[in-house]
Amino acid sequence: MAQATLLLPARTRLVGQVLPPDLAKALGRADRAASEAGERAQLRRQFQLIPDHWPVAALTRQHDARDAAGAMWLRADPARVSPDMAGARMLAYGEALALDADDTAQLLPALKPLFGDAGMLLDAPHPARWYLRLPLEAKLPPFVPAGDVLGDDLFAHLPDGDAGRRWRALLSEAQVMLHNHPWNAHRAAQGKAPVNSLWFWGGGVLPDAVRTGFRQVKGNDVLLQSLAQVAGVEAGHANGEGGVDALIDLRHLRNLDLLCRDALRPLLDALRKRELDALTLDFEDGTLFSLRREQRWRLWRRPLQRLDTVRPDHVPA
């Protein structure tokens, strides 16, 4: 069966935008369901990992360097933090810092001995994604994803207890080294933000297998591309158009008109022409719409005027 699934932002990102009449009719007749919210849950609905875990660092390492097998991996992403009365707030990390090869060539040598003495190898196959390689048998405490810490107090999200003591100490030492590094003065002179912290997250080992029902995955997100790569699925850039059995990442969209024009209308047209058997809209807030050709006979269903007014747990009769 030919299918397409769109990964979409939370419906609240499209608040206040009214659906055009043709799409209001189609979505009003669609099946609706509720599932778990969040980026991780959204991706896990589309990919099944064996064994069942979520090792972001190992997955993206395989994408960046093709050498993730045989080790435990942890992201140690460069970050910018700013002190405030409550502690230190993370203002940016990774790609938002606009790092290049010169940055890693200057900063990594200062940090490598710190982690080397702790039995870990620090490197950066991509300027925005730094990694720690650990032995397979290493035990890691729970780490909070960097995106969940952004804008919040850094120290409120550090691993606690005895298991987290080592990592709190390593972070503190790394912050001192980065704060005093002359390269940050060079970045400041160029109008760039300092790299004055790291953030540890995404630990785990590469899964034995990743499975998905899609033959094509289209999107620019590195984790999505990493999952597709390990699953052995063709990956490319998102353009709003879907082929057979395609997963299309449109989570970056904030404009309903663009979503309707470039994605929903072409795919609904493919449904009408029997080029597509099913279309699923998967929103990051956990709302799911399932559209099929035979739903056009649900004449009693009212058009859906706005996406953000839908109760996902309510399925019309």
At 208-219, the pLDDT tens digits run 999 999 999 999
Domain ranges of the chain: 3-47+213-309, 56-205
Are the C-beta atoms of residues 72 and 136 closer than 8 Å to each other? yes
Cis peptide before 51 (omega within 30 of 0): yes
Burial class (CB in 10 A: 0-12, 13-18, 19+), 188: exposed
Question: What is the chain's length?
Answer: 317
* pLDDT of 241 over the 80 cut: no
Predicted local confidence at residue 244, as pLDDT: 66
Summarised one tens digit per residue, pLDDT across range 104-155 is: 999 999 999 999 999 999 999 999 999 999 999 999 999 999 999 999 999 8
What is the greatest pairwise CA distance in the chain? 69
